[in-house]
Amino acid sequence: MKTLVMILVAAIFAGKSIAQTIEDGKKFLYYERFKSAKDVFQKLYAANPTDETAAYYLGQAMIGLEDIAGAKALYQQKLSATPNSPLVLAGMGSVELLEGKTTDARSRFETAINLSGAKRIDVLNAVGSPNSDPEAKNGDANYAVEKLKLATTFKGFKDPEVLANLGDAYRKIQDKGGDAIQAYDAAIAINPNYARAYFRKGRLFQTQGISQEPLYLSLFNEAIAKDANYTPVFKTLYRYYYTTDITKSASYLEKALAVSDDDPSACFARAEIKFAQGLFAETIAKCNECIAAGGTSPYPNLFGLKAYAHLKTNDSTNAKINFEEYLKRQLPSKIGAGDYSGYAYTLLKFAGNEQAAISMTEKAVMLDTLEKNKVDYLKILAVYYKDKGAFAQAGNWYNRVIGVKKNYNNVDLYNAGYSYYRINKYDSASSVFNKYVTKYPDDMFGFYMLAKSNAGIDSTNTTGLAAASYLKAIEVGEKVADKAKVKDQLSGAYTFMMSYSFNLKRDQAVAISYANKALALDTADAQALKNLEFVTKNNPAAKPATKPSTTKPTGNKPAAATTAKPKPTAPKAK
């Protein structure tokens, strides 16, 4: 009898231990344990298909698992039965935001709010959350602020999740960082152990650059101290150290996995860490294992990672195949700028794909918010065309770099300007080198190349278009203490001004002075000796004007500035 009683008691307690609630599932969502959350909400929804809250959160768990199609199908099925369910309408709106259907999403959100009388905190939060998500490209942060602030005005409000979402919304709006911090602090005031608020504050300061590193790392550590099971902070630290300290990154990954579900994203992370360790063959093998485990719906990021690993092993064919598979499977809203650029780089390995590569690069530049990344994307095309000898295209892409960089340097200007110069696009070259001399007025090189470009425009030297720039090049060059550094440029400038003075100005004395200056740079220069001899023996004022030559002297006039284009030594970056 005693044994039977004990069995019955054990059965009762076992039943209680497996009876999970909405709050249990929401806790899993908070920890970003989407697989566990899905399991909870699936059971709750199966037990009560009329429960809109279970249906809504089940769809959100599916979204967390990147099963957007599954979430959409669930919400559509639920709405066909109960079309006036506010939470499910908000859930469908979140799906439509991910699909880029912003107008449809806004209609769903407004309908959900109206049906709830704009008095349900859970509905307002379900509307605000997808719009406030820092990773949601299509979300409207101002709209999120409006709805989430309304939720905080209700009597008895004590929901830190709403305030954390409000902080996220402010974080997305320029110059609203102070408001974001106030919202996060308000969440902490309600629940001092709410790790997400500390973490999100840290993420806000992280966007302000490395100067804030002590502060945001301190906030990340505080989040861990408040809740050692808060998975997102470990994942962020894993990413943070991924490119700088792979050992530390791997240790945070292990901590993240220890408090995470063994879901597709976890399998991806194990493959990704192998990539960071330089184990590219192992990365590919692990990706294949994870893809096989995913069945008919493998984690899309695995194909992107495989593509990068194949690039590292110089297997462009498989890189291209996997990039295309990734782009086909992944939601457009989740494709990063670097992915488009990586695919563009791969396409350039195959002849005839230039236009597709340009299209991908334009997408990357438009999507990325970091100047450095935009420049890197553009330079891939610039270098490609330069290496092919297609200098017009190379110049155009280098010129795009100048347009993107707020503080472009002399090398950027040289790359664009000289690309144009070497194919006789002198107008374009002159335009670039004008920017060079404006930014670097103490650098002779800019004036020298501007002069050569203008000499190309005035190819017969009939107007002396290049003279002013050559004179400025001489002025700057003669101030350089080590003349060996500018010898070739000074020699070219002196030679041009000698020819200009003799042939156009018909001033023998000035021509002789420039000939002497050129010879002084190298007393053994045979051409400089011939030029000096000629301008000394011939008086241009006593002869009819002759057209200046761009070739070596033949005995009747000095050498003019050459239009030949030996490559000048590229300047060092300033």
How many domains in the chain? Answer: 1
- 507 pLDDT more than 60: yes
Least-confidence region, from 434-443, 492-501, 543-552? 543-552
Question: Looking at the domain assignment, is residue 515 inside a domain?
Answer: no
Q: Which two tokens stand for residue 280?
A: 């590219």
Question: For residues 531, 535, 540 and 541, what is the CA-based torsion angle, rounded to 10 degrees?
Answer: 160
Taking alpha carbons only, the member of 572, 510, 567 closest to residue 391 is 567
Tens of pLDDT, residue by residue over 257-275, are: 999 998 888 999 999 999 9
Cα distance between the two ends of the chain: 91
What confidence score (pLDDT) does residue 208 get? 87
Tens of pLDDT, residue by residue over 315-342, are: 999 999 999 999 999 988 889 999 999 9
Tens of pLDDT, residue by residue over 142-182, are: 999 999 999 999 999 999 999 999 999 999 998 999 999 99
What confidence score (pLDDT) does residue 553 get? 34
Q: How far is CA 567 from the centre of its chain?
A: 33
Question: Looking at the domain assignment, is residue 492 inside a domain?
Answer: no
What confidence score (pLDDT) does residue 571 get? 78
- 453 pLDDT more than 70: yes
What confidence score (pLDDT) does residue 209 get? 85
Confidence of residue 550 (pLDDT cuts 50, 70, 90): very low
Question: Looking at the domain assignment, is residue 256 inside a domain?
Answer: yes
d(CA 311, CA 288): 16
Q: How far is CA 511 from the centre of its chain?
A: 54
Question: Looking at the domain assignment, is residue 250 inside a domain?
Answer: yes
Q: What is the percent of the chain where pLDDT is above 70?
A: 92
d(CA 34, CA 54): 14
d(CA 98, CA 536): 80
Q: Which two tokens stand for residue 525?
A: 């220069």
The residue whose two tokens read 């709830």 is 116
What confidence score (pLDDT) does residue 18 get? 54
What confidence score (pLDDT) does residue 19 get? 74
Q: Compute the average pLDDT of residues 173-201.
A: 96
Question: Looking at the domain assignment, is residue 235 inside a domain?
Answer: yes
Q: How many CA atoms lie within 13 A of 476 on its CB side?
A: 19
- 6 pLDDT more than 50: no
The dihedral through the CA atoms of 440, 442, 443, 449 has a sign that is: positive
Question: Looking at the domain assignment, is residue 468 inside a domain?
Answer: no
Mean pLDDT, rounded, of the chain: 91
Q: Compute the average pLDDT of residues 112-131.
A: 97
- 2 pLDDT more than 70: no
Taking alpha carbons only, the member of 216, 213, 214, 249 closest to residue 234 is 249
Question: Looking at the domain assignment, is residue 231 inside a domain?
Answer: yes
Q: Which two tokens stand for residue 358?
A: 């340009």
Residue 210 sits in a domain whose CATH number is: 1.25.40.10
Taking alpha carbons only, the member of 316, 367, 318 closest to residue 341 is 367
d(CA 547, CA 565): 21
Q: Which domain holds residue 210?
A: 192-261
What confidence score (pLDDT) does residue 293 get? 92
What confidence score (pLDDT) does residue 338 get? 95
What confidence score (pLDDT) does residue 331 get? 83
Calculate the alpha carbon distances from 365 to 330, 344, 392, 536 in Å: 19, 12, 21, 59
Q: Which two tokens stand for residue 225?
A: 């101290």
Q: Compute the average pLDDT of residues 420-448.
A: 97
Taking alpha carbons only, the member of 74, 79, 95 closest to residue 138 is 95
- 554 pLDDT more than 50: no
